[in-house]
Structure 1
Amino acid sequence: MSTQNQHKSLVLALLISIFLTKNCADSDDQTECLSETKHPYMNFATKTPYYHAHGNIREELSTLQSSGCDVHSVWMMVRHGSRHPTKIDGSFIRHHLPLLRKKLVNAYHHGLGSLCRKDLELLKEWDPDKLSHDRRMQLFETGRVEMKELGARVREALPHFFKEGVLEHNVSIWSTNTDRTKETAKVFLEGFSPSQNLEKNIVVKEHDRIMEFHEICHKYNEKIFNGSHIPAFLKFLKGPELLSVVGSVSERIAVPVERLHVVLMYNACRYYKVMEPLKHSAWCAVFSRKDMEVMEFGEDLFVYHDHGYALDITYEQACPAVQDLLQRFRYQSDSSVFYFTHLETVVKVMTRFGFFNDSKPLTWNAMDSRRRWRTSDFGGFGSNIAFLLTKCRDVGYGCEIRVCGSCHIRMRWTVNTYINEKKVHLPRCAYTTGCPWLVFQQLYGQYAVCPFDELCGNKGFGSKVVSEQWKFWRKLNILREL
């Protein structure tokens, strides 16, 4: 090959290289184009949209019923649907990201960074005002639709159990006193029983021991504020994993950014994808898949120390919810209850039952991609846990009793558990048709007695014992989700 041809080949190779960098036709993870990705990373930790994480309770219960089980009672706890950001989240996004966008657009036009052209166009079209200040903490329309559809699936899964005539008397609906939970309960009921107005049956409680026990547990608030979770999380914020994300994003957009900017871009990425699920979320384009995994782990780490297994009191305080479940199932009545609450409560109840417990505790310097503790799977918007008291044919016993030549199959009471409409086995009690009631009582019957005030050290603190300092920290921490 002549020198001239070699030169032409090198120029052509350089042009192809530039083209691939800007358009990401066949790129590696660091230069992947969001606009050309068929399956973008959707594990958004506590902001994971429900449509990405849920199963189908209708199919699950169809399988259960075909195995010879009849449902007699339902106990379900639901986190509110996807919502607008907090005041501080929305304000930071609206005021900081437009200026950052201006800088990265300018850098792109100077031939810097590795953003794809289509992704740049997404960022140019991004509208910060869609996160309305007036709608802060209220449900997105997608949140309303998802929770209405959840209600419809629950009702359709048990049409013979949830009959029209008994809904007024046999179904209880409870909600915390926030707009997002009350609205979630309302739209759930619209899907659950569109022909009846059950909204008037919603019981609203504030600082309730079942739905908001963490708000009135002095020992928990004291330990969390002064405990190990803040140093652990701060170490992560200053650690190499997050710094690698800061460097990766800075290089990708050719604008030096700080950790705060990364968190804001990550939150904008998540909120807009939840709000508009059929569209690409512009700010997701600044992250690689690896970056997303690090950000997901960071929030998992925080939630682990806040709601998980880091401190015993975190899950011990959930005993009022378990006590309520035991009391309702003990009498084996055909009644059901639905609680609409927040992340703190739902995850702590899951933790109390031992779900998602890794053999090793989560630490800031060990990001395990195989960990069980992934809030994207169980702690996103709309996440829920349901316990069903069922009466099942005990096929293992065969023909237990014969009367006049007829075979009477032995029946037994079991408890079936579902998280986000997917069947899960209780730790230490994995049976196809659910955990036998007698075994369930042996494992969790101790919580039928729940000395909550003693456990929480509430004596002398009254009913509202939330630390004002802890409230302040929670408001400042923009990675924390409620």
Structure 2
Amino acid sequence: MIIQIMNFHFISIIVATFYQVPEITAFSFNDVRNHLGTRTPYRFKYNKDDSRIIFPGCKDVRIWMIIRHGTRLPSAEDIVGINTLRDMKHEILLSHKKGQGELNSEQLKRFDKWSSNIVVEEEKYLTHEGQDEMILLAERMQKRFPNAIKSKYDNNTFYFKYTATQRAQQSARYFTIGLFEKKNAQTVIFSPANKVDPILRFYKHCDKWQKQVKKNPNTYKEQKLFGDSRTMNDTLEIVSRKLGFDKVLSLDKVNLMYVTCGYETSWLKHYISPWCHGFDKETAEVLEYYHDLKHYWMDSYGHNLTYRQACMAIKTMFEDFKKKNYPHATFLFAHSGTLLKILTHLQLYKPSAPLTADAIDKNRTWRTSDIDCFASNLAFVLYKCEDGDKVLVLHQEKVIKLPMCDHELCPLADLEKHFYESIYNCDYSDMCSLDTTDT
């Protein structure tokens, strides 16, 4: 399947006022923007050092990489919600004219200029920033591993696959532009996308997980408790007062502002979303934790089945490394839910205790703002070394040491031994089928 390069234009992604003279400022926004959860921009989190990664006596020969799509537009539900903020914007401006609220003149100017005309038909489309993320990511990875990632395209050397979504398909397409430039990228062959994909989106068709986890009200118990907590109520009061409201805004409204702040921060490098002005570092951390509770219990360590099913991806990676006549560079384009479950399967970023509504663990390693921003990615690089095959793992382009390894460059044989169950006893049908006691 050949994807042709075409000019992709988002008619209504951002209103014209967003493209005025870039606004660059310091203030507390620099704190807020690092706590935007799964909508955190990739440009705040990736490893900027793109120099070649060399280990004496070793040569990089293969790479297997799974990538969350780049920055996208909101879901249809969020688009509708964001468009309703136009009325709230006028309330904020009116309140400050009456002497209420804590925003300064520059912040009020940003509210005055703000508008949103995103159409529901473009829900979850990849944005221009998302395109750039993919191009630049590809360029950097090729510089780090020039032997495994050749500069010239060959269908026998490269394998590309994406889920059956516009954002994943477009992410893959722009990634190839970064590897081969636009002219040569037109010849790239992509593996056909499957609506049912047990490797790239295994959780979507795992019936048992859908029933026992995603659609189980208990999965969201901690998030709901935290949403009703004193900490959250205090946060709602602070945000409401700062914006000049007489009454305390609902969690839904404040959350919508937080979400909008995240999207608009991700879309544009030099634009400051006025909706970020409702927060400071402390209040942003509260909303961040509110979302982390949901993802922890739905996509991570909260339930055993959630990360067990990720064996489908891990198994494929090991199998691909062992095949003799197989592409040296494999690039797979998926989603947040995929990456979080694989990270958990690898036992990465496990908190010292389960996340609960009782208190925010500000020192937790499991924080979606850090580990699951837009364009988050995980790469396994196979090195042929004088003393055997070894694997290097990178998360968001940063070299990491797996918990079961003694060093960053880990013997392949040791990993295969540790993940024996994932490789040889990964029965997806048995794991995900509902039996009579489940229905």
TM-score range, shorter chain: 0.7 to 0.9
> Which of 100, 110, 118 is equivalent to 2:98?
110
> Which of 124, 127, 131 is equivalent to 2:115?
127
> Which of 366, 369, 372 is equivalent to 2:359?
366
User: CA 1:40/1:279 → structure 2, altered by over 3 Å: closer, same or farther?
Assistant: farther
Partner of 1:281: 273
User: CA 1:203/1:375 → structure 2, altered by over 3 Å: closer, same or farther?
Assistant: same
User: CA 1:56/1:118 → structure 2, altered by over 3 Å: closer, same or farther?
Assistant: closer
Q: Do the aligned partners of 1:343 and 1:379 also contact (CA within 8 Å) in 2?
A: yes
Q: Do the aligned partners of 1:56 and 1:422 also contact (CA within 8 Å) in 2?
A: no
Partner of 1:204: 193
User: CA 1:381/1:234 → structure 2, altered by over 3 Å: closer, same or farther?
Assistant: same
Q: Do the aligned partners of 2:155 and 2:188 also contact (CA within 8 Å) in 1?
A: no
Q: Do the aligned partners of 1:82 and 1:142 also contact (CA within 8 Å) in 2?
A: yes
Deviation at 1:72, TM superposition (A): 1.6
Distance in 1 (CA, whole Å) between partners of 2:224 and 2:56 is 50
Q: How many positions carry a matched residue from both structures?
A: 407
2:59 aligns to what SS in structure 1? Answer: strand
Distance in 1 (CA, whole Å) between partners of 2:174 and 2:341 is 25
User: CA 1:239/1:200 → structure 2, altered by over 3 Å: closer, same or farther?
Assistant: same
> Which of 254, 257, 266 is equivalent to 1:265?
257
User: CA 1:164/1:420 → structure 2, altered by over 3 Å: closer, same or farther?
Assistant: closer
1:106 aligns to what SS in structure 2? Answer: helix
Distance in 1 (CA, whole Å) between partners of 2:207 and 2:327 is 36
Deviation at 1:39, TM superposition (A): 2.8
Q: Do the aligned partners of 2:149 and 2:329 also contact (CA within 8 Å) in 1?
A: no
Deviation at 1:169, TM superposition (A): 0.8
Deviation at 1:338, TM superposition (A): 1.1
Distance in 1 (CA, whole Å) between partners of 2:417 and 2:251 is 48
Distance in 2 (CA, whole Å) between partners of 1:329 and 1:459 is 35
1:169 aligns to what SS in structure 2? Answer: coil
> Which of 178, 185, 193 is equivalent to 1:191?
178
Deviation at 1:37, TM superposition (A): 4.5
Flag the structure with larger Rg. 1
Matches within 5 A, 1:238-249: 238-249=228-239
1:338 aligns to what SS in structure 2? Answer: strand
The share of aligned pairs that are identical, in percent, is 26
TM-score, normalised by the number of residues in structure 2: 0.88
Q: Do the aligned partners of 1:35 and 1:118 also contact (CA within 8 Å) in 2?
A: no
> Which of 40, 47, 50 is equivalent to 2:39?
47
Deviation at 1:132, TM superposition (A): 3.9
User: CA 1:458/1:122 → structure 2, altered by over 3 Å: closer, same or farther?
Assistant: same
Partner of 1:343: 336
Runs of 4+ in 1 over 6 A off after TM superposition: none
Gaps of 5+ in 2: 1-24
Partner of 1:476: none
Matches within 5 A, 1:118-267: 118-129=106-117, 131-164=118-151, 167-194=154-181, 195-224=184-213, 225-226=215-216, 228-255=218-245, 256=247, 257-267=249-259
Partner of 2:432: 456
Q: Do the aligned partners of 2:163 and 2:169 also contact (CA within 8 Å) in 1?
A: yes
Distance in 2 (CA, whole Å) between partners of 1:457 and 1:133 is 34
Partner of 2:303: 311
Deviation at 1:36, TM superposition (A): 4.0
Letter in 2 for 1:317: Q
Asked whether 1:386 is paired with 2:356, we answer no
Distance in 2 (CA, whole Å) between partners of 1:98 and 1:227 is 33
Distance in 2 (CA, whole Å) between partners of 1:230 and 1:163 is 45
Deviation at 1:361, TM superposition (A): 0.7
1:200 aligns to what SS in structure 2? Answer: coil
Partner of 1:65: 54
User: CA 1:440/1:74 → structure 2, altered by over 3 Å: closer, same or farther?
Assistant: same
TM-score, normalised by the number of residues in structure 1: 0.80
User: CA 1:122/1:223 → structure 2, altered by over 3 Å: closer, same or farther?
Assistant: same
2:101 aligns to what SS in structure 1? Answer: coil
> Which of 68, 76, 83 is equivalent to 1:79?
68
Structure number with higher helix proportion: 1
State the Cα deviation string for residues 437-458 of structure 1 (Å, max 9, x = none): 1211121122112111111125
Asked whether 1:419 is paired with 2:395, we answer yes
Q: Do the aligned partners of 1:115 and 1:252 also contact (CA within 8 Å) in 2?
A: yes
Distance in 2 (CA, whole Å) between partners of 1:213 and 1:133 is 27
Distance in 2 (CA, whole Å) between partners of 1:411 and 1:378 is 32
User: CA 1:445/1:72 → structure 2, altered by over 3 Å: closer, same or farther?
Assistant: farther
User: CA 1:143/1:241 → structure 2, altered by over 3 Å: closer, same or farther?
Assistant: same
Deviation at 1:38, TM superposition (A): 7.3
Distance in 2 (CA, whole Å) between partners of 1:374 and 1:165 is 38
Matches within 5 A, 1:17-32: none
Deviation at 1:57, TM superposition (A): 6.7
Distance in 2 (CA, whole Å) between partners of 1:459 and 1:208 is 22
| More moved, 119-128 vs 35-44 | 35-44
